[in-house]
Structure 1
């Protein structure tokens, strides 16, 4: 009897998982991002309103009253805090803004979807590209003159960008909104590093070292989940005041305080973690008060009619800032995203195309809050060049917004289809079906 040879078993290989860029992520993260974006969109509308009122007032017959308001001083001189209202807005109110940015960034990388290094690589690389290219372009345009303003066109204003989205991109898919928010938050962190390193003119070591004491006690208390505002607020204020006295821009204290707050809850804890708790408390304050008031006290620039505007637009500083915002930011963001995709062998998520990345990159060219702050630090608050910076930031941001609106409008039908698919919940469990596949 002839024995048949045994059949060789077939070896089945598991299909290789394709890495998707701009996938929608998890449902809890998408829900949290949606809540954040709603608050920031409202803040963006208030920011634009504040900037518009400032511009009208500064160019009205009553402009001297606006200038008097900016120069009005208040605060204890013994603590080096007898400051003008404009200075209080830049150093004080924006510290709240950067505190929330620190909380948001830490949550994203510790507990959010970006704790996966491959998911974090895209927005981080895009933010770095969106900072490097406009800075280089500014320096090239200015040819070695007034190079202290190189960082002005590097910042993205998320509130302003979302206000534009509220008009032209209501159907933008969750993944693209999340990317824009994360890009802007990382952008803010890079901006505060630039401010701390390159725009600290005079450093006093002892106040800087002294600021570590209240910061350390604040960190110890929040790590123990202490939520008593009467303990935390004096420590936060002391850290801010000592940082301000040291010569380091006081907004740096906001980021450090935000980073000190723990994100993850203990095993026996109930309810939201401390970072989430503080973010819920301070984000409305930042978006609804701090940033709009800063815009109102910073955006008022006397244009001086068409002659004054024409003179400003010929200034190489203005040309460099506008070129950085309108050209440098989108080129840097798109190039860095494409290179990251090539390096990680990632593909765009289903339904998306590279034109969508271009639209988001153009939105990244909307720089306002931090750009105005850096302009004041670079050229001096109230100087002629500071006025030119304001004109450049406003004009460049409006141009970037218009271009972004034109690009995103082309894809609006696709966005509506993708957005509708994200809302389908056939089993009625309050979780869209696309997040359960």
Structure 2
């Protein structure tokens, strides 16, 4: 029985046998800040940003890396992304408001979304975002009308569905023909959208965008996306005379969550993307467009760890031992949504060998509230601390108050210093927006 797990970033097991992140003892963090607790390793986070910057922008100053805010965005995160020279991809007025409140430059923000409201579009135009990524004909007409009302010209990209089936969970595959996102290439909608955008005095059509899915572990899918999109741009030039300046290939690079995951490196991903575009530029005698990518998970996921306190246990001899923690699908819905797999360690017994195999269940009133099946651990007791790795992406951002549970705090750790960047919710926060009608008083 093995309890070996992959420690990432600044993680280590200290002299007390405790898990340590960013020079901070996880046991001490839990004692002072409570659990569940999201811990963010700032050194690893910045390292991932710098690797992306060097692989793209550092090699070609015209290329751009946008951090996909939906993975995790709070004020401190926006500041770190700005420090590291990356732009932001936002998908709502709320994400845009967080970015702008943090002082992020609007011209380095791209607004996405398949059903943006008129209010969000006006907000983005007033703020001067760098690009609006238009998703469908309804939105094309809506943005055009609002630009007319505001006497503005919007720099836009058109989101294209390139018909590529990425090998990931169906809920996070987005580039195929049968997708809610983008103008379909196969039936001619994408080319018609290009012609419509070019005909409008209210648009500056800078290029096109695609995103083929998330948690992709095979480079060939990214190479294919680059080739397909460049073929489309060459056809659009032939049909309209328009030469795209920008090609946004989205994000989707996978990360290590558990045994069996073997993601490409950031550098391998960058080479695959750039080489596929360069090959097609030569084939079509097409000027190389500015390449834009939108990583989220591969920047922040490995830098995040969630710590829980173990409570009740249920041992069914010969079948399974359930070990419950003080969080669950409210702070990490991914196992319930996507059957996502994780690894973890008992943070206060990190140096001990595994003695049993348990299944980690959350505290929600749902049989599907399971975080990890079959985790080798030392003999566990109530009060032990469980740390689950690679929870930086789509955990806090997808958290909820189901069962009226409170969202955890988020702490940023670096060189032995711990800074709370999101306070733990209180019961007062939970009911702050509730109202009692007069007739019920």
Say whether the fold is shared (TM-score over 0.5).
no
Indicate the TM-score class for this superposition, using the shorter chain for normalisation: under 0.3
Higher share in strand: 2
The TM-score, its normalising length taken from structure 2, stands at 0.25
TM (norm. structure 1) is: 0.26
Richer in helix (by share):
1
Q: RCO higher in 1 or 2 (8 Å CA, sep ≥ 6)?
A: 1
